[in-house]
């Protein structure tokens, strides 16, 4: 009897395992820079998604072990590793979402723009391969300086004749994650309820949290607004300094990037209620690229939430005016870099 009941339990467990091993959807995701500080925890979080059938991990080194390790998790997706330029094309074939955290992170005393010379070329090279192998994919750019790398990617895709502005995203989800956390802490709100749109770009004063648009509606003193805005704008530097030369945000970034991947997959899968902030080609302002809340659908950006930019407070209006020259210069720097290379 003992044997019998054990057998039936084992059978049940086996059925459950098989059930769990069926993905709920069959999307392929590639992470370029998968062995890095962001790449590893991000790949782990994507491995947990029931919407992913294939997870392709690409890096110039050390990716074999990361893939072997992750492949033992009993979640649906198949993990494959790809190392070096000769395997880049294969890592991208048939992929629906490409996430790019490849590149060098900041050390204390550096700005994100100080990474331009190293990371611009890395991103350009990777996106040329994306254009050749999965031109229809959603492209998520994490590599800094995002304000410039996204315009570079747009130029590369244009040059290749495959640019779809609705499918190119600079990942600014971490700014929203931080804003939500800091506001919930300061105002003693339930974290799950708090949503703060963050617009502009992803560096210093170009990061503009619209605290007046916080949901649920909440009032702030002038001091609170100043303190929260500056903390959100400098949160990346807060982590860079705490890590004291060993890098920048990796774990919170992986969390934020995984949220953006999951939102993209839900949108691809037909969910009609997916909204995220992202740095995208935009006509909400006179700048060609601008981060704002967007509605995501099967074809990428479906709509811009322009109402976020209406009825701004005086503080927000001034901050918006102040960020535009810096963001414009970063966009132009990216475009000039890409055009010089062609």
Among 76, 236, 300, 334, binds ligand LMR (CB under 6 A): 236
The answer to whether the peptide bond before residue 216 is cis (omega within 30 degrees of 0) is yes
**Shortest CA distance to 57 belongs to which of 27, 89, 90, 80?**
80
Distance CA 157, CA 148 (A): 15
Residue 239 binds: one of ligand NAD, ligand LMR, none (C-beta under 5 to 8 A by kind) = ligand LMR
- Token pair for residue 23? 């993905």
The two structure tokens encoding residue 87:
């395997």
Cα angle, residue 178 at apex, residues 107 and 301 outer, rounded to 5°: 100
d(CA 211, CA 204): 16
Here's the x/- map for ligand NAD, 137-176, by CB under 6 A: it reads as: -----xxx-x------------------------x--x--
Residue 299: CB atoms within 10 A of its CB come to 13
Q: Which residue number, 152 or 220, has a Cβ lying nearer to ligand NAD?
A: 152
Identify residues 18-77 at the interface with ligand LMR (CB under 6 A): none
Task: List binders of ligand NAD among 266-325 (CB under 6 A).
Answer: none
- Is residue 334 near ligand NAD by the rule CB under 6 A? no
Strand partners, 274: 296
Residues 240-259: x/- map of binding to ligand NAD (CB under 6 A)?
A: -------xxxx--x------
Q: Is 174 in the site for ligand LMR (CB under 6 A)?
A: yes
- Judge whether 140 counts as a catalytic residue: no
Task: Give the containing element (helix H, strand E) for 128.
Answer: helix 116-133
SS3 state of residue 28: strand
225 binds ligand NAD (CB under 6 A): no
Contacting ligand LMR (CB under 6 A), which of 83, 248, 281, 292?
248
Active-site amino acid positions: 202
Which residues make up the interface to ligand NAD (CB under 6 A)? 32-33, 35-39, 59-61, 101-106, 115, 119, 122, 125-126, 142-144, 146, 171, 174, 202, 247-250, 253
């Amino acid at each position: 009897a003992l044997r019998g009941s054990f057998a039936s339990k084992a059978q049940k467990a086996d059925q459950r395992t098989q059930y769990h091993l069926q993905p709920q959807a069959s999307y392929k995701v590639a992470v370029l820079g998968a062995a890095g500080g962001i790449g590893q925890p991000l790949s782990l979080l994507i491995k947990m998604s029931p919407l992913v059938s294939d997870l392709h991990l690409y890096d110039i080194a050390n990716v074999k072990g990361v893939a072997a390790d992750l492949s033992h998790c009993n979640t649906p997706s198949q993990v494959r590793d790809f190392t070096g330029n000769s395997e880049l094309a294969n890592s991208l074939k048939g992929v629906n979402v490409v996430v790019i955290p490849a590149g060098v992170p900041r050390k204390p005393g550096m700005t994100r723009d100080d990474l331009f010379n190293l990371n611009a070329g890395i991103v350009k090279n990777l996106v040329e391969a994306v254009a050749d192998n999965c031109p229809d994919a959603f492209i998520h750019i994490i590599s800094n300086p995002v304000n410039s790398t996204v315009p570079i990617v747009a130029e590369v895709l244009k040059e290749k004749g495959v640019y779809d502005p609705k499918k190119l995203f600079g990942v600014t989800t971490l700014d929203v994650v931080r804003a939500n956390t800091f506001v919930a802490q300061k105002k003693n709100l339930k974290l799950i309820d708090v949503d703060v749109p963050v617009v502009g770009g992803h560096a210093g004063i170009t990061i503009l949290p619209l605290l007046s648009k916080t949901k649920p509606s909440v009032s702030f003193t002038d001091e609170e607004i100043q303190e929260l805005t500056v903390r959100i704008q400098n949160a990346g530097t807060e982590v860079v300094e705490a890590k004291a030369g060993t890098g920048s945000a990796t774990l919170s970034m992986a969390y934020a990037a995984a949220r953006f991947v999951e939102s993209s997959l839900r949108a691809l899968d037909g969910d009609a209620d997916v909204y995220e902030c992202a740095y995208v080609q935009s006509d909400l302002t006179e700048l060609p690229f601008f981060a704002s809340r967007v509605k995501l659908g099967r074809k990428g950006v479906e709509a811009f939430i322009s109402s976020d930019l209406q009825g701004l407070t005086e503080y927000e209006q001034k901050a918006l005016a102040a960020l535009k020259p810096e963001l414009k210069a970063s966009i132009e720097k990216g475009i000039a870099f890409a055009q010089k290379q062609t």
